[in-house]
Amino acid sequence: MTLTKRPFGTLPDGTDVTCYTMTADNGFSAEILDYGATIRALTVPDRNGKPVDVVLGYDTLEEYCKNEDYLGATIGRFANRIGKGRFELNGKEYVLALNNGKNHLHGGKIGFDKKVWATELTETGITFSILSPDGEEGYPGNLQTSVTMSWKGNGLELHYKATTDQDTILNLTNHSYFNLDGEGTVREQTLQIAADSFTNNDSGCLPTGEILPVAGTAMDFRKPRAIGDGADSDEPCIRYSKGYDVNFVFSGSPAVIAESAKSGIVMTMTTDQPGMQLYTANLLSDRKGKNGARYGFRSAFCLETQHYPDCIHHPEWPSCVLRAGEVFESTTTYSFSVK
């Protein structure tokens, strides 16, 4: 692997932002910003050997500072939603920002996606780390978090690690927007998801507490299925969000196989997390992207590996509580091939 870096702009407070490029021995490459530990580009060959950048991103730091849609960012402290922006832990109530209607979303008003992370180069990649002080965005505990991004063969591996000095809650993910053609919409691209069930949503995209079978619904991706087949379904869980914005409950591995018949690119995602939010860029407005590209509605899909949304209010679900002195570790890998 080779590693290069270049300046990517300066924040209003004078902090410099750097873009790192990790190029694997097979020619695959990833561009990652220390701002938000953000995957800006991910370039792999199509079936004809032509390089294709399969994630959405921006050309300037200013655009990332306005990144309301979290393109490519590492999300924390808590990915996805927390109902009413409140939770109780050890008998104490904690109050968070309401930045998604009546709910708390993706760590609050200034989450990990809006921070410059410290960097440490490794033999195979880069470790990005950040300290979130006790009380930041309303969360308890001094939380030390890192994500190491590295090429492992044909796969980009994201290894998360976190510790805290007080009991707290944690849900980390990456919010890359994938398009295996590098352009156009993803309606014809297919997904196969190893999930027999999903967490049903209310109109605010918050889980109702029901875990429902995917069989007979638009959420059934147990066999390869075009994204556009169900994204316009009139089923409530789809209609509320104008497309997929739903948590799948994994029941096997690999978790997801995504494929484009046009480019021939196949992306296989593995993870040790219990769930994943599939999001089909339902709210992505028309805008300029990298290198003059245009992005908009259905121009990408997100595979946000995670604990279930709002799980702090559902003790019967896998726990998001990180106890003082414990070490949280998790790995998600995106591997690429062609067909």
pTM: 0.98
Contact status, residue 73 vs residue 67, Cβ threshold 8 Å: yes
The pLDDT score that the predictor gives to residue 264 is: 98
- Amino acid at position 151, single letter: W
Burial readout 202-222 (b: 16 or more C-beta within 10 A, e: otherwise): eeebbbeeebeebeebbbbbe
- Please state, for a pLDDT cut of 90, what percent of the chain lies above it: 99
For the purposes of burial, counting CB atoms within 10 Å of the CB of 95, is it exposed (0-12), middle (13-18) or buried (19 or more)? exposed
The pLDDT score that the predictor gives to residue 78 is: 98
User: What's the chain's average pLDDT?
Assistant: 97
The pLDDT score that the predictor gives to residue 76 is: 98
The pLDDT score that the predictor gives to residue 123 is: 85
2-183+244-254+264-338 CATH: 2.70.98.10
The pLDDT score that the predictor gives to residue 68 is: 86
Is a pLDDT exceeding 90 seen at residue 255?
Answer: yes
Order the strands of the 275-279 sheet from edge to edge: 207-213, 195-201, 245-250, 275-279, 302-306
Domain ranges of the chain: 2-183+244-254+264-338
DSSP 131-168: EE-TTGGG--S-EEEEEEEEEETTEEEEEEEEEESS-E
Q: Which residues face 50 on adjacent strands?
A: none
Is a pLDDT exceeding 90 seen at residue 124?
Answer: no
326 C-beta neighbours (distance < 10 Å), count: 12
The pLDDT score that the predictor gives to residue 207 is: 98
The pLDDT score that the predictor gives to residue 249 is: 98
pLDDT digits (tens, 9 = 90+) for 51-82: 999 999 999 999 999 988 999 999 999 999 99
CA distance 223 to 168: 38
The pLDDT score that the predictor gives to residue 232 is: 93
Is a pLDDT exceeding 90 seen at residue 271?
Answer: yes
- Please state, for a pLDDT cut of 70, what percent of the chain lies above it: 100
pLDDT digits (tens, 9 = 90+) for 150-178: 999 999 999 999 999 999 999 999 999 99
pLDDT digits (tens, 9 = 90+) for 188-212: 999 999 999 999 999 999 999 999 9
- Residue 216: which pLDDT band, with cuts at 50, 70 and 90? very high
Query: Which residues form the catalytic set?
Result: 175, 304
